[in-house]
Structure 1
Amino acid sequence: MTDLTQLYRQDYSEWARRNRELLRAGRFAELDIEHLLEELSDMGKSERDELESRLLILLAHLLKWQYQYRSLADRWREFDGRSWRVTIVEQRKRLAVRLRKSPGLKSVLDDAIATAYPDACDLASKETGLPMDTFPPACPYRKEQIMDDDYYPD
């Protein structure tokens, strides 16, 4: 076991600092390659997980807006969907920031939408009490609509 491997288990910050120094110095043979690869892989997975999590919440709220908003607004005059709108605005903003900070995620956005959509339907169904078959089997929104600050489904 190398000193860096042991350091990885004991002091992550110091491990990262030392690997940075080795990279800057061009001392590639001394790097803790195994853990560096693991960390890079985890970073990408973590960013993708965040993207899908935000999409899940956003898509669920778009579905609730489309399939339940009118019936609630008709029954309760005071229901104006404000909390749903706040959530939609916030998730769109957080998604835009994430995509700006990690532009490589744009290449997986379509796949992330397809992955998050079934869980969004499940969440919307549980939160509204509407049956799952209320919602289309595939995401009815284009990514441009999902990210459009002015788009709210009818």
Structure 2
Amino acid sequence: MSAMKAAAVQTRSGTAYEDDFYTWTQEQGARLRAGDLSALDLANLAEEIESLGRSEFNSLVGAWRVILLHMLKFDHQPDKKTRSWAISIAAQRKEAEFILKDNPGLKRRLDEALERAYHGARLGASKETRLRLKRFPETCPYSLEDIRSRPFPVDPDDPIA
């Protein structure tokens, strides 16, 4: 153990969460590893652990938002569809797949993630296409199956699923 980590474990008060988050995280980690549970900042540590879970949920929402944005653009501006939209959909599908594989507990929140993702995608599609927001349905017109597997070929010689 480095001298700095040893000093962090020995210091009961340590760095305040509000003063230096990075140093606080290093001290808390050192205390956990040393088994010095009585010196942990339990309230803030619990909040940070919960925050890690929220960030996984937000990553799923973000991946789906990009997919839905491009799906809306494909459906509302089919004459402007591009290969980059199809590639973006494929990449974000893979990202969402990895997130769900690594975090199976998120499966019980799929409907909530879809609702949040669609809200952002709808606004983004209106901005990017310059079409009025009311042109896009208020609720998501796509199923989870559509999001996961609907094909998006740009031309017959280059099908991208």
* Same structural fold, with TM-score higher than 0.5 when normalized by the shorter chain: yes
Q: Partner residue of 2:33? A: 21
User: How far does residue 19 in structure 1 lie from its aligned partner after superposition?
Assistant: 3.6
User: How far does residue 46 in structure 1 lie from its aligned partner after superposition?
Assistant: 1.6
Give the alignment's TM-score, normalised by structure 2: 0.75
Counterpart Cα distance in 2 of 1:142 and 1:4: 52
Return the structure number with greater relative CO, CA threshold 8 A, min gap 6: 1
CA distances 1:11-33 after superposition (whole Å, capped 9, x unpaired): 245324324325xx4x6444321
User: How far does residue 4 in structure 1 lie from its aligned partner after superposition?
Assistant: 5.4
Counterpart Cα distance in 1 of 2:13 and 2:131: 54
CA RMSD of aligned residues (A): 2.4
Contact 2:12 2:39 in 1 (8 A): no
Contact 2:28 2:40 in 1 (8 A): no
Q: Partner residue of 1:119? A: 120
Q: Secondary structure at the match of 1:3?
A: coil
Q: Which has the higher helix share?
A: 1
Counterpart Cα distance in 2 of 1:45 and 1:126: 27
Where does the alignment leave 5 or more consecutive residues of structure 1 unmatched? 73-79
CA distances 1:84-139 after superposition (whole Å, capped 9, x unpaired): 00110111111111111112122111101111212211101111112112211110
Contact 2:65 2:120 in 1 (8 A): yes
Question: What amino acid is the match of 2:151?
Answer: Y
Q: Partner residue of 2:45? A: 36
Cα 1:5–1:52 shift into 2, 3 Å: farther
Cα 1:110–1:85 shift into 2, 3 Å: same
Q: Partner residue of 1:59? A: 68
Q: How many residue pairs align between the two structures?
A: 140
Cα 1:56–1:4 shift into 2, 3 Å: farther
Where does the alignment leave 5 or more consecutive residues of structure 2 unmatched? 1-10, 154-161
